[in-house]
Amino acid sequence: MSWLDRFPLLWLTVLALWMAVAPITPEPHLVEKLGMLWQGSLVRPIDIFDLFLHATPLVLLGLRLWRLKAKRGSV
């Protein structure tokens, strides 16, 4: 996972926030797809892909921050 450590934190944060709220109107895709997942109606492959697409940068940001905290904690 050293490739993730080399990715600039600023750009990863911007990408994660942008993908989390895109498109802004009428409702962000991430919110819509998580609602569908919660309701049990997330069954179409395009919807599953859309959830994956919009959530991946947030997951990567979380991993990057976790690795950064772990690295600073061990020093």
Alpha carbon separation from 47 to 19, 26, 36, 68, 74 (Å, rounded): 15, 17, 9, 32, 40
Kindly report the pTM of this predicted structure. 0.81
Ordered by start, the domain boundaries in the chain are 2-74
Q: What is the pLDDT of residue 14?
A: 94
* pLDDT recorded at residue 74: 64
CB contact at 8 A, 17 and 28: no
Per residue in 22-69, pLDDT (tens digit) is 888 788 888 888 999 999 999 999 989 989 999 999 999 999 999 989
Structure tokens at 11: 């750009």
Confidence of residue 11 (pLDDT cuts 50, 70, 90): very high
Quickly list H helices, 1-75: 2-6, 9-21, 29-39, 45-74
Taking residues 13-17, what's their average pLDDT? 93
